[in-house]
Amino acid sequence: MKGMLLKDILNIRGQIAYYAVIIAVFFAVAAVTGNLYFYAGISCFCGVAVPLSAVAYDEKDNWERFALAAGVTRGRLALSRYLLGLASFFPVWGLSFLLFVLPSFRTAENLLAVLTFGGMGLLVMSVVLPLVFKMGTEKARAVYIVVILAVMLCSAGLASFFGLAEGAVPVVAAVLLAAGIVSVPISFAVSCSVYRKKDF
pLDDT in tens, 126-141: 988 898 888 877 777 7
pTM exceeding the 0.85 threshold for the entire prediction:
no
DSSP alpha helices (H): ranges in the chain?
Answer: 2-11, 13-33, 36-43, 46-61, 63-69, 74-94, 108-135, 137-164, 169-197
pLDDT in tens, 115-129: 888 888 898 889 888
pLDDT in tens, 27-68: 888 888 888 877 887 887 877 888 888 888 877 877 777 777
Q: Report the share of the chain in percent with pLDDT over 70.
A: 90
Predicted local distance difference test score (pLDDT) of residue 82: 92
Tell me which long-range contacts 103-112 makes (C-beta under 8 A, separation of at least 24): 104/34, 105/34, 105/36, 109/162, 109/163, 109/166, 109/169, 110/36, 112/162, 112/169, 112/170, 112/172, 112/173
Predicted local distance difference test score (pLDDT) of residue 99: 86
Predicted local distance difference test score (pLDDT) of residue 161: 59
Per-domain residue ranges of the chain: 2-197
Residues 170-182, mean pLDDT to the nearest whole number: 83
